[in-house]
Amino acid sequence: MTTETEKLNVIGHRTNRIDGPLKVTGTAKYASDHQFPGMLYAVAVGATIANGQIQSIDASKALKMPGVVGVYHKDNIAKIFNLPPSKGFLDMVIDERRPPLSDNTVQYYGQIIAVAVAHTFEQACAAADAVEVKYDSKTPKVDSNLLADAKLKVEYQRGDALAAYEKAKHKLDLTYRVPPEHHSTIELHASVATFDGHSFTLYETTQAVVNFRDVLAGYLGVEPDKVRVITRFLGSGFGGKLWPWSQSAVAATLARQLGKPIKLVMSRKMVFQAGGHRPAVEQRVLMGADDAGKLVSLQHDFANHRSILDEYKENCDECTKYFYSCPNVLTRFASVQRNIGSPTSMRGPGAVPGLFATESALDELAIKLKIDPVQLRVINEPSKDESLNIPFATRRLLECYELGAEKFGWSQRNAAIGSMKKNGTILGWGTAGAGWIAERFPAEVSVELRDDGSIRVLSATQDIGTGTYTVLAQMAAEEFNVPLSTIDVVIGDSSLPAGPISGGSMVTGSMIPAVSEACGKAKEALLNAAVKTADSPFHGAKEKDLVFANGKIRKSEQSDTEGIPFHQFLKKYNFKMVSGKGSSGSTFGAKASVSRHAYGAHFVEVGWQKDIARLRVNRVVTVIDSGKILNPQAARNQVEGAVVMGIGMALFEQGHYEPTKGALLNSSLADYIVPVHADMPDLEVQFLETPNKELNEYGAKGVGEVGLAGVAAAIANAVHHATGKRVRDLPISIEDLLTVT
Ligand code: MOS
C-alpha cells in the first residue's frame, strides 16, 4: 500500500461513477427488471386492520378472474420455517422475524395476509383487490406518547448526573420528538425468485446479500449454499433495505411451490406500511451547566416505538456519551410496543435523532447563558473520549466549526432574535455538530489478473448507489498503478467472497485492507507463475528480483519502459488468470484503544417571511472530517444528499397513523412530503482530510451518514434565531411559527 510520501494517482481524485453509463442508458438491471420465461406475478394483500384476528379469507371472486393462478395465505402456502436464533453479531439479522402468513393474528395495518398470483401484474393486482377478508378487530395503539409509557432502563452512566443536576447553577429540562420517518427510496422493495428444483436464485433489493441469503435459507429450510442472492444495483436504501422483509420469503416459497419464477414488487403503500421506517422517538434532555457554560450534568432519556413482536432500539445516546466533556452523564432507554410495522435502521440510526435533541438543547443552553453557540462547543470540547477513557484516533470537530464559521460568515451574526434581515426576509443563523462511528466490518475479496488484460475485483458487498463500484476500482487501480478502465468490479452476489453489509457507512473503510491484501497476493501469484513457468523469460529468477508495476512484469534491473504486460504473459503461457484473496477483520467487539468517529459541523441560514408564512433553508455550509476522501465527487454527493435529507427531517417528513384503524395515512410520495428541487439551498461542502491510518491504510472513514447527523438541529436553531420560536417536535411546520406574535 502507498506510503504518505508516494503520490496517489487515482485515490483522492474526482472520479466519475464507473457504473454511471449503465444507469443513464437504462442498461443497469435492478431486481424488478429481471424477467424469466413462465414467470408469474405476485401481489400482496395487506391487512386493513392493525390489531385483531383474521376470521376468514374469501378468494372465490379473485379465483374466477382471468389469468389468476391462485390466492395464497396461511392455509394453502407451503411451509415457511421459523428462523433459528441469531448466533451473534450480524448473523441472520431481520427486523420482522415472524415467518409471513404463519397465523391469523394481525399486529399492524398493512401486514401481508395473502398474496394473489397471476400471469400478468395487472391480473394479480385485480385479484388481490378482489380478496375479501373478515376480521375480528380491536382498537390499535399507534400514538407517539412514548416516554409516558416507557419503563426506562439505564444504558450508560458516569459520575452522578442526578445529584449534579440538582446542584447546577443553570438547568434545562427539555423534551424533543422525532416522528416516524420513511426511507422513500425511488426503487420499491422487490423480489424475483427462481427455483431450479435444487437451488434458489433470488434477485433482491438488499444492502446485504450475504445476510439475506442466510435469512432466506432459514425461512426456506435449506442450506445457505442452496440460495444465491443477487443485487447488482440498488435504487438506494438508506437502511430500508439493510435486512429482508416479508415479501421475499413469500416470493421464494411460491417459486418452489408453483415451480415457476415469481416476481413480487411491493406497492409504494406497502413499502411505507410494511417495509420499515425510522421509529417515532421521544427524548428528554436535562443539562446542568456552570456560569462559564461548562456542562456539569447531562441526562438523556429516549424511547422509541417498536412493533408488537420485535425489539427495535434507536440508539439515540450514541453521541451523548462522548461528544462533550462532562463529568456526570446518564442515559436511559425503553422501547414501547405499538401496532405498527417494525421500524428499522434509517440513515444515521440513533445518532441522527439523538443529535437533534442534544444539539438543539446545547443551543438552548447557549441562549440561556448568552454564549455564542460555537464558543459553547469550544468550552465543552473533551480532550479524550470520556465514555471509554481512551484517546480519540482523530477528532477535528472544532476545526470543522472553525472552517465552517469562516466560510459561512458566522462572525457577522447578531444574536438578537429576528434582528438579521435581507430584502424584507428575516434571516436565522444556526449551527450544530455531527458525529458518526467509524469502524470496520469483516471483509473478504478476491482479485484476478486476467488474460484479457482486465483486473477483476470480486466481493459479496454491494453498491447501494453511493459509489462502491467506483471506489473499489480506484483501490485496485491505485495498487497496480493501472488505468481505472482496466478494473472490473463484480459485487452484489452472495456467491462471491463474503463482503461487508452496505450499512453504517463502512464498506469503503472495511474493504481497503482486504483489497490491498488481495492485490498483493494476486501480484505474488503472477510473479510466482513468471519464475516457475518453463520458457518464461523470468524462468528461474527469484521472485524478489522481479517487479510488477504499471501492468508489466520486469526484472528489477530493467527500466520501467521494458517488461511484459501481464496479460501478454498470461496468454502466451496459457493461463486464464492468476488471483489472490484478501480479508480483514471487524473492529467491533475488540477492546478499543482509540475512539474512532467521523465528525462534522453544519451552518444554516433560514429565511422567514412572516407575512406570507414562508420558511426556507437559504444556504448551508457543512464541513466534514471523514479522514482521507478517496473520491471527492462521490463523497460530496453523499454529504449533499444527507443535508437535503436533513432538510426533509427538519421541515417536512412525518408519518401519520390514523388512531382508530391504525393505518399509516400518508403512505405515498404524494402525501409524505420530502424536499424537492425548489427546497434546495445554496450548499457548500468542505472536507478536512485527516487520515486515520489505524482504521485502514488510507485513513478513510465513512461519509454517508455523518452528513445527516445534526442538520435538523442546525435548522431548528436557525429557525429559533429568526422567529424566537423553539420547535422541539419535528417537523417544524408553518403552523408552529404562525403563533409567533
Ligand atoms: Mo444505513 S441506516 O446503515 O443503511
Instruction: Determine the 3-state secondary structure of 435 from DSSP.
Output: strand
Instruction: Determine the 3-state secondary structure of 117 from DSSP.
Output: strand
Considering the domain architecture, whether residues 693 and 631 belong to the same structural domain is answered as yes
Whether 653 is covered by a domain: the verdict is: yes
pLDDT at 4 over 60: no
Residue 1: half-sphere exposure toward Cβ, Cα within 13 Å: 16
Strand-pair category, 105-106 with 68-73: unpaired
Last residue of a domain, one of 584, 599, 628: 584
Sheet holding 153-158, edge to edge: 153-158, 329-337, 295-306, 281-289, 170-178
Considering the domain architecture, whether residues 225 and 317 belong to the same structural domain is answered as no
Look at residue 222 in the predicted model and tell me its pLDDT.
98
Residue pair 166/328 in contact (Cβ under 8 Å)? The answer is no
pLDDT at 522 over 50: yes
In short, whether 207's Cβ falls inside 6 Å of ligand 1 is yes
Give the Å distance between the CA of 5 and the centre of ligand 1. 35
What band does 259 get if pLDDT is binned at 50, 70 and 90? very high
Average pLDDT taken over every residue of the chain: 96
Whether 164 is covered by a domain: the verdict is: no
In short, whether 504's Cβ falls inside 6 Å of ligand 1 is yes
Using one digit for the tens of pLDDT, what is the confidence trace for 340-399?
Answer: 999 999 999 999 999 999 999 999 999 999 999 999 999 999 999 999 999 999 999 999
**For 646-669, what is the mean pLDDT?**
97
Q: How far apart are the first and last CA of the chain?
A: 62
pLDDT at 741 over 80: no
Considering the domain architecture, whether residues 50 and 199 belong to the same structural domain is answered as yes
Q: Which atom of ligand 1 is nearest to the CA of 238?
A: 4
Give the Å distance between the CA of 739 and the centre of ligand 1. 37
Q: Which atom of ligand 1 is nearest to the CA of 344?
A: 2
Residue type, 736: D
Whether 80 is covered by a domain: the verdict is: yes
Considering the domain architecture, whether residues 229 and 361 belong to the same structural domain is answered as no
Active site residues per annotation: 705
Using one digit for the tens of pLDDT, what is the confidence trace for 146-188?
Answer: 999 999 999 999 999 999 999 999 999 999 999 999 999 999 9
Look at residue 8 in the predicted model and tell me its pLDDT.
83
Look at residue 6 in the predicted model and tell me its pLDDT.
56
Look at residue 561 in the predicted model and tell me its pLDDT.
85
For 6, 156, 516, 537, the CA distances from 548, given in Å and listed in that order, are 17, 52, 15, 14
Look at residue 469 in the predicted model and tell me its pLDDT.
98
Q: Is the pTM of this model over 0.95?
A: yes
Residue closest via CA to ligand 1's atom 4 equals 239
pLDDT at 2 over 80: no
Residue pair 508/630 in contact (Cβ under 8 Å)? The answer is yes
Look at residue 274 in the predicted model and tell me its pLDDT.
97
pLDDT at 560 over 90: no
Q: Which atom of ligand 1 is nearest to the CA of 348?
A: 2
Considering the domain architecture, whether residues 723 and 701 belong to the same structural domain is answered as yes
Using one digit for the tens of pLDDT, what is the confidence trace for 60-94?
Answer: 999 999 999 999 999 999 999 999 999 988 999 99
Q: How many domains does the chain have?
A: 3
Query: Domain of 456: which CATH number?
Result: 3.30.365.10
What band does 19 get if pLDDT is binned at 50, 70 and 90? very high
Distance (Å, rounded) from C-alpha 486 to C-alpha 677?
A: 37
**For 465-486, what is the mean pLDDT?**
97
Radius of gyration in angstroms for the set of CA atoms belonging to the chain, rounded to a whole number? 28
Whether 77 is covered by a domain: the verdict is: yes
Q: Domain range spanning residue 425? A: 281-439+591-737
Last residue of a domain, one of 250, 274, 298: 274
Considering the domain architecture, whether residues 482 and 577 belong to the same structural domain is answered as yes
In short, whether 239's Cβ falls inside 6 Å of ligand 1 is yes
Considering the domain architecture, whether residues 402 and 496 belong to the same structural domain is answered as no
Give the Å distance between the CA of 104 and the centre of ligand 1. 32
Considering the domain architecture, whether residues 286 and 435 belong to the same structural domain is answered as yes
**Is residue 236 within a helix (H) or strand (E), and if so which, with residue range?**
none
Burial 377-396 (b: 16+ CB within 10 A, else e): bebbebeebbbeeeebbbbb
Whether 318 is covered by a domain: the verdict is: yes
Considering the domain architecture, whether residues 94 and 208 belong to the same structural domain is answered as yes
In short, whether 345's Cβ falls inside 6 Å of ligand 1 is yes
Residue pair 655/346 in contact (Cβ under 8 Å)? The answer is no
Using one digit for the tens of pLDDT, what is the confidence trace for 280-333?
Answer: 999 999 999 999 999 999 999 999 999 999 999 999 999 999 999 999 999 999
In short, whether 242's Cβ falls inside 6 Å of ligand 1 is yes
Distance (Å, rounded) from C-alpha 451 to C-alpha 219?
A: 41
Q: Which three cell numbers stand for residue 329?
A: 452523564
* Diameter over CA atoms, the chain: 90
In short, whether 346's Cβ falls inside 6 Å of ligand 1 is yes
Whether 4 is covered by a domain: the verdict is: no
Residues above pLDDT 70, as percent of the chain:
99
What band does 693 get if pLDDT is binned at 50, 70 and 90? confident
In short, whether 500's Cβ falls inside 6 Å of ligand 1 is no
Give the Å distance between the CA of 443 and the centre of ligand 1. 17
Look at residue 212 in the predicted model and tell me its pLDDT.
98
Considering the domain architecture, whether residues 579 and 598 belong to the same structural domain is answered as no
Which of 209, 347, 638 gets mutated to test ligand 1 (max ligand atoms within 8 A of its CB)?
347
Give the Å distance between the CA of 737 and the centre of ligand 1. 32
Whether 8 is covered by a domain: the verdict is: no
Q: Which atom of ligand 1 is nearest to the CA of 347?
A: 2
Look at residue 691 in the predicted model and tell me its pLDDT.
81
pLDDT at 740 over 70: no
Q: In the block, which residue shows the cell 431481520?
A: 94
Query: Domain of 247: which CATH number?
Result: 3.90.1170.50
Residue pair 562/572 in contact (Cβ under 8 Å)? The answer is no
Q: Can you give 71-91 as a three-state secondary structure string?
A: EEECCCCCCCCCCCCCCCCCC
Q: Which three cell numbers stand for residue 80?
A: 415457511
Give the Å distance between the CA of 433 and the centre of ligand 1. 20
Last residue of a domain, one of 584, 609, 632: 584
Whether 153 is covered by a domain: the verdict is: no
Look at residue 5 in the predicted model and tell me its pLDDT.
46
- Cβ of 63: how many Cβ atoms within 10 Å? 15
**For 535-553, what is the mean pLDDT?**
94
Residue pair 409/427 in contact (Cβ under 8 Å)? The answer is no
Considering the domain architecture, whether residues 267 and 291 belong to the same structural domain is answered as no
Considering the domain architecture, whether residues 400 and 533 belong to the same structural domain is answered as no
In short, whether 626's Cβ falls inside 6 Å of ligand 1 is no
pLDDT at 7 over 90: no
